[in-house]
Amino acid sequence: MAATREAGFSLFDAEERILGLAENLRRRLDDLPADLRGDADQLIEAYRRSVREQRQLVKVSDRLQGQLATVNQELARRKAEAEEALDRLKEAQETLVQA
């Protein structure tokens, strides 16, 4: 599940919309004292960093999930090979016992 846009969907659509609303609100606060504007700027920047970190976590998670799927496929392949080898050994043992 990728966080990038696929067929018009982004995992972070809501967050992007909220950031846009926050930036619009911040522009409307231009007439307020500087300390209030600074507080609003800090909140917006903290949220922006949080969204960026979430995107990075999703990327890492996606990559690890892909690696896990690859390892599971390899494990299934090796298990099948081991089962086939065991069946051949059993057949060979039966042939030796009957001989």
For every residue of 47-64, DSSP letters joined together read HHHHHHHHHHHHHHHHHH
Q: How far apart (Å, rounded) are the C-alpha atoms in residues 1 and 5? A: 11
pTM assigned to the model: 0.66
- Reduced to 3 states (helix: H, G, I; strand: E, B; else coil), residue 6 is strand
pLDDT confidence tier of residue 99, bands split at 50, 70 and 90: confident
Task: Tell me what percent of the residues of the chain surpass a pLDDT of 90.
Answer: 84
Task: Let me know: does 14 contact 22? Beta carbons within 8 Å.
Answer: no
What's the mean per-residue pLDDT of the chain? 91
pLDDT confidence tier of residue 52, bands split at 50, 70 and 90: very high
pLDDT in the model for residue 7: 54
What is the identity of the amino acid at 86? L
Lookup: tokens for 5: 């846009």
Quick: pLDDT tens for 26-42.
Answer: 999 999 899 999 999 99
pLDDT confidence tier of residue 11, bands split at 50, 70 and 90: confident
Among the listed residues 22, 24, 64, the one whose alpha carbon sits nearest the alpha carbon of residue 46: 22
pLDDT in the model for residue 16: 92
